[in-house]
Amino acid sequence: MGAVEPGKFERAIDGREGLILFFKVAGLSYGLRLTNVIRIDEIETPASSITMPDEKVIKCINLRRFFGAERNGSENGKGIVIIFDSEDGEFGLVADAVDEVVPAPEASELMWPPQLEGEGAKIFGGFFRRRERLVPAVNASAVREAAMPEGL
């Protein structure tokens, strides 16, 4: 079980409703809206659950494993945990690093055509356009459903 460092990114996600987080997993960039994110923290060792400073234990999904990357840790052995609040309770996604947090108008969102279906279309709801690149948009709830269909 990993432990988080208290609140390093709290200022970055203040006013999170209109923000997009870009993060790295195995050298690739992904993005997500910060709407249901309640905190982002650095962790020493990616784990399947983390203990918060208040001793609360939160189950996590390691995105390296989920996306099929060879190794379970980031290049330096550290990572970040993105903690979400949902109807079913809090859960975390473990990634390698924060790339940047930007206002939504700086990264327009392109949705998949409605006729596309399947797990991939659920997990990646489309793309964010950031500068001259397209970054897959991760749907955290769909990742949670695919990784833990029985719930947490």
Give the span between the Cα atoms of 86 and 129, in whole angstroms: 26
pLDDT at residue 1 above 50?
A: no
5-26 residues labelled b (16+ CB within 10 A) or e (exposed)? eeeebeeebeebeebbbbbbbe
The rounded mean pLDDT for the chain is 80
The confidence score (pLDDT) of residue 56 equals 85
Name residue, tokens 């309640």. Answer: 38
Averaged pLDDT for residues 124-147: 90
Q: What is the mean pLDDT of residues 118-134?
A: 85
Q: Span 90-106, mean pLDDT?
A: 90
Name the DSSP letter for residue 131: T
Nearest by Cα to 103 from 8, 14, 9, 7: 14
Give per-residue pLDDT as tens, 11-24: 445 555 678 999 99
pLDDT at 74: 55
Least confident range of 51-60, 96-105, 136-145: 51-60
What residues does each domain of the chain span? 2-147
Q: Which two tokens stand for residue 96?
A: 């390698």
Question: Does pTM top 0.75 for this prediction?
Answer: yes
What radius of gyration do the chain's Cα atoms show?
15
Residue 99: pLDDT above 70?
A: yes
pLDDT digits (tens, 9 = 90+) for 33-90: 888 888 888 888 777 888 877 888 889 999 988 988 866 555 666 889 999 988 888 8
Work out the number of other CB atoms within 10 angstroms of the CB of residue 135.
20
Task: Determine the distance from the C-alpha atom of residue 116 to the mean position of all C-alpha atoms in its chain, rounded to a whole number.
Answer: 23
| Confidence bin at 4 (pLDDT 50/70/90) | very low
Where helices occur in the chain by DSSP H, the ranges are 63-66, 119-123, 140-147
